[in-house]
Structure 1
Amino acid sequence: MSAPSPKPELPAARLHRLANGVRVVCDPLPGLQTVALSVVAGRGARIEDEGRSGWSHLLEHMVFKGAGARSARDIVEAIEAEGGQINAATGYERTSFQVRALADGLELGSAVTADLVQRPRLEGDDLRREKQVVAQEIAEAADTPDDLIFELAQQAAFAGHPLGRPILGTTASIGRATPESLSAWRDALYAPEALVVSAAGAVDEDRLLGLAERDFGAMAPGAAAPASPPAAFAGGLRRIAKSLEQANLVILLPAVGASDPDYFALRLVAEILGGGMASRLFQEAREKRGLAYAIDAYAETYADVGVLGVFAGCAAADAAELARVIAAELQGMAQVRAPELARAKAQLKAAMFMSRESALARAEQAAAQVLLFGRPLGPQEIADQVDAVAPADLARLADRVFAPRCVAMAVLGPKAALPAAEAFQRALFG
């Protein structure tokens, strides 16, 4: 009996470009009754100077206060009346507006997001109130150890660069924004040449292109966006003594960006180090030594730079010993056993394919790929790149990570935990 023929891969999402530069991605998924629409600008907090820190996030808030002919309440009621949900997010390199709805809600979702991006009201009274809201968000982040520790590590890693500043900005920087200055910022941030309209799920390609032309095709060229300076990993220590039950540690090492040939080697190293319960850090630090309840490793990447990170929570008295254990596991990352690499590849591919079962995740991923690579990537294309990573690639990446002899580390918690920073550096670099 002959083996069944493999199923042909579904084509990657299809890319189109409107005359004014807006790109449109269509990813139809047979059998779905819902659609996800993401309108993504390939600009975010990274293009802000210090005086405008937080403006991209503040603007994302402000557009929901009224846009086009709709009030703030009209915006959400119109979407929810058709069974939909609307949301937005600001990152360092992208700003995204997202609508999830029943299939018939695509037309309304496109019209509403077009108003948000192109025709927000930006009125003075709304801005004063929203500054207060964002100020509370900033205060909340400072009061939340799980948020503050990552912010401190980011500051240390990219000191003096926009990537080292919080996306929320500061109360002083957002206080400088006026309706007029935010309007000018919107013109640069959401310019058509930086915009991707991406839809996945129960979507017809011709219908999507017609809506994109209707709602985004008349956008005039935007103002020139500030150039983002090249990012460089600075490194350094941030330590704050705080009365907490547990010490929090974040360690960052310089790594590669999302477009680097070693990107998937970085993702696999993070998986091997701390990507699950079978990972080295979990087994050594938690299962064998009982030093930490929470410990994991991760890769954070931007267009041109990235970090290999480790987060851990532990008793203050164990922080220094845990730091030394982490250093030892990092030093051993160039030597990977075949079963470890196979497990990491399986986990990474599984995570990728599982995320593709969400229409919204597919729409967001396709938009991000278009902004970074100029086209959407097929899942098998990505899986093949993961499978192609060899032990020699991990060794090469390890050399690149350790060559600068530089680390960014943040420690937050009882005073007894603070020496963990020096203990880690001595253990890693001698």
Structure 2
Amino acid sequence: MTPKVHTLGNGVRVVCDPLPGWQTVALSVVAGRGARFEDAGRSGWSHLLEHMVFKGAGGRSARDIVEAIEAEGGHINAATGYERTSFQVRALRGGLDLGSAVIADLVQRPTMDAADLAREKQVVGQEIAEAADTPDDLVFELAQAAAFDGQPLGRPILGTTKSIKGATPETLGAWRAALYAPGSLIVSAAGAVDEDELLKLAERDFGGAGAPGVGDPEPAAFVGGTRTVAKRLEQANVVLLLPAVGVMDPDYFALRLLAEILGGGMASRLFQEAREKRGLAYAIDAYSETYADAGALGVFAGCDAKDAAELAQVTVDEIRGLTEPVGAAELARAKAQLKGAMFMGRESALARAEQAAGQVLLFGRTLDPVAVAEEVDAVTAEQLAALTAKILAPKKAAVAILGPKPALAAADVFHEALTA
């Protein structure tokens, strides 16, 4: 059954996905707002806020919050992205009441103590430093900055030590009220959940009036460019991005299939050509990164510095090769892999709750997984070829390389091969 969507009087939407026979329940409260909605001065505030609400809320201390959930056999977590912030509880059957109450306190009644905020800025500062010291984190940040230069999508979700320094309990509290406003909230539960119970709890915990929310962000624009950092490492970390379509575009599933064929698995073109045939890289993957109105086709590889230029050329060649229709067997394999990942992902109650919340945020409804699989099956080889040509047409790319200096020249090779 496709879960129904209910809307409370203040605009909060509620989704229930009961799974008969399950002994656990997952609750996800998702705000359709994140780092993309920040201006430069508040960069990283959404992530900092997600940390801060766990320091104390609704009369519970930081320790009380986790102990209350764990005492009932549950787990609590949260995550901040560019376009959404999610609070999650997994619990045993019967744990929905407590989980809903705790998350409601986090979202609506955090303590925001000044001393806690000062300490948490230090913690987030260490998280920022850790990302800078981790090559396969930093290289993706560099690529993102090149792709969406000067825009919220081009800034790191963590922000910078300078940007988070300006947050005070008062200003962060005002940001919380706007970021987690009722109109952007989805309460989504899956597993051992009763719909009537969920609606009563949602009304009790999230049905109160709220402040106006944050407005929509400016449309994203893939501008492209190069970010290279010379560093003494054992291998070069390379990310190559091309402009693609957003999650709401009719070609969304074609993009997913394109990434699968290009570098989604061991049978993919890049894995076979770059690793198996040429031995250029141990790890090489292609992926799609999609937002509401924009997206990118990406390739990540770790390689010897001396092989980076050849790897860049091979990547362009393999992408260009997809302007010709792929064979029936190759397309069928990609479809099977994509559908397999989709259906296997639904075997987790939390994944189902999160997926439903994301669909409601984007489309205002949940999607029938069988109908989605049919959309995947409907993609043609000609559609993939046309999408590849569309991606290549602007001759724009974002290239990030982190590693030994000889590898950095691969950025120019990729750009030149792309525009040739």
Query: One-letter code of the match for 1:362?
Result: R
Query: Aligned match of 1:276 in 265, 277, 294?
Result: 265
Which residue number corresponds to residue 339 of structure 1? 329
C-alpha distance in structure 2 between counterparts of 1:388 and 1:224, whole Å: 38
AA aligned to 1:278 is: A
Are 1:257 and 2:246 matched, yes or no? yes
- State which of 354, 365, 375 in structure 1 corresponds to 2:344: 354
SS in 2 for 1:348: helix
* Equivalence for 1:3: none
User: Which residues of 2 match residues 406-421 of structure 1 at below 5 A?
Assistant: 406-421=396-411
Aligned partners of 1:181, 1:172: CA distance in 2, in Å?
A: 15
In structure 1, the partner of 2:296 is: 307
Cα shift readout 1:371-392 (whole Å, capped 9, x = no counterpart) = 0000011110110110000112
Aligned structure 1 segments of 4 or more residues deviating by more than 2 angstroms: none
- For residues 373 and 43 of structure 1, the distance between their equivalents in structure 2, rounded to whole angstroms, comes to 15
| Structure 2 match to 1:59 | 49
Superposed CA offset, 1:253-291 (max 9, x none): 000000000000000000000000000000000000000
Following TM superposition, by how much is the alpha carbon of 1:403 offset from its aligned partner in structure 2, in angstroms? 1.5
Q: Secondary structure at the match of 2:386?
A: helix
1:222, CA displacement in angstroms?
1.8
* 1:34 and 2:24 aligned: yes
Q: CA deviation at 1:108?
A: 0.2
What aligned pairs does 1:283-294 form with structure 2 within 5 A after superposition? 283-294=272-283
| TM-score in terms of structure 1 length | 0.97
Q: How does 1:6-45 map to 2 (within 5 A)?
A: 11-45=1-35
* 2:234 alignment counterpart: 245
The verdict on how the C-alpha distance between 1:108 and 1:224 changes in structure 2, with shifts beyond 3 A counting, is closer
1:231 alignment partner in structure 2: 220
Displacement after TM superposition at 1:226 (Å):
4.0
Determine whether 1:321 maps to 2:335: no
Q: CA deviation at 1:426?
A: 1.7
Q: Does 1:130 align with 2:134?
A: no
Residue number among 389, 398, 405 corresponding to 2:388 in the alignment: 398
Any gaps of 5 or more consecutive residues in structure 1?
A: 1-10
Instruction: Tell me the secondary structure at the aligned position of residue 189 of structure 2.
Output: strand
Residue of structure 2 in register with 1:73 after alignment = 63
SS of the equivalent of 1:418 reads helix
Structure 2 residue corresponding to 1:164, chosen from 146, 154, 171: 154
- 1:224-250 superposed Cα distances (whole Å, 9 cap, x missing partner): 414311100010000100000000100
User: Residue 26 of structure 1 contacts residue 208 of structure 1 at CA under 8 Å; is this kept in 2?
Assistant: yes
Matched letter for residue 274 of structure 1: G
AA matched with 2:212: A
Task: Choose 330-339 or 111-120, whichever is displaced more.
Answer: 330-339
Structure 2: tracts of 5 or more residues without a match: none
Q: Is the 8 A contact 1:48 1:226 kept in 2?
A: no
> How far apart, CA to CA, are the structure 1 residues paired with 2:316 and 2:385?
16
Give the secondary-structure state (helix, strand or coil) at the position aligned to 1:249: strand
Q: Could you tell me whether the CA contact under 8 Å between 2:22 and 2:192 is conserved in 1? A: yes
Q: Distance in 2 between matches of 1:227 and 1:278?
A: 40
